[in-house]
Amino acid sequence: MKVAIIMGSDSDLEVVKKGLNILKDFGVEFEARVLSAHRTPHLAVEYAMGLEERGFDVIIGAAGKAAHLPGVIAGVTNLPVIGLPIKSSTMDGLDSLLSIVQMPSGVPVATVAINGAENAALLAIQILSVKSPELRTKFKAYKVSMAEAVVAKDKKIQELL
């Protein structure tokens, strides 16, 4: 099981790293590339079209501003695509979010929050866990640990009050 992460720019890497760390923690194999829907459209499409054949299962497309990358990728592959809108200096990333979420009928792109790399990775893991009981078990344990952390924080606050 493999995840491809495609960034529209190397400036997206600081955000994307958070998702890469989650994939590493879960032991999910991944490949990360910088390919632009606008500056290298032929390379981006060629790369995306070959992912299924190379054994990839899910694609995360990270893009800012016009953010066409996830949609272009979704248009040329049958693999699930998760759009990760990147906050840019323009409109605090709202432009990116709207560009990714407003896909035409028949070309779905699941979309996470602006700069939501962790959720993009976790959604990819959930998709992969449909066929991987081991990954599903790890994901369940992750959710339990999140809940336990909240309970511990609540207890700490209650003790302060």
- Residues 131-153: tens digit of each pLDDT: 999 999 999 999 999 999 999 99
CB-CB contact of 41 with 55 (8 Å): no
Reported confidence tier of residue 91, pLDDT bands at 50, 70, 90: confident
CB-CB contact of 63 with 100 (8 Å): yes
Q: How far apart are the first and last CA of the chain?
A: 47
Asked whether the whole model's pTM tops 0.85, one would answer yes
CB-CB contact of 64 with 96 (8 Å): yes
What pLDDT shows up at residue 131?
A: 95
Q: Is 107 helix (H, G, I), strand (E, B) or coil?
A: coil
| Strand ranges, E, within 47-155 | 58-64, 81-86, 110-111
Residue 10 has pLDDT above 90, yes or no: yes
Look over the chain and give the mean of its residue pLDDT values, rounded to a whole number: 96
Domains of the chain by range and CATH? 2-132 (3.40.50.1970)
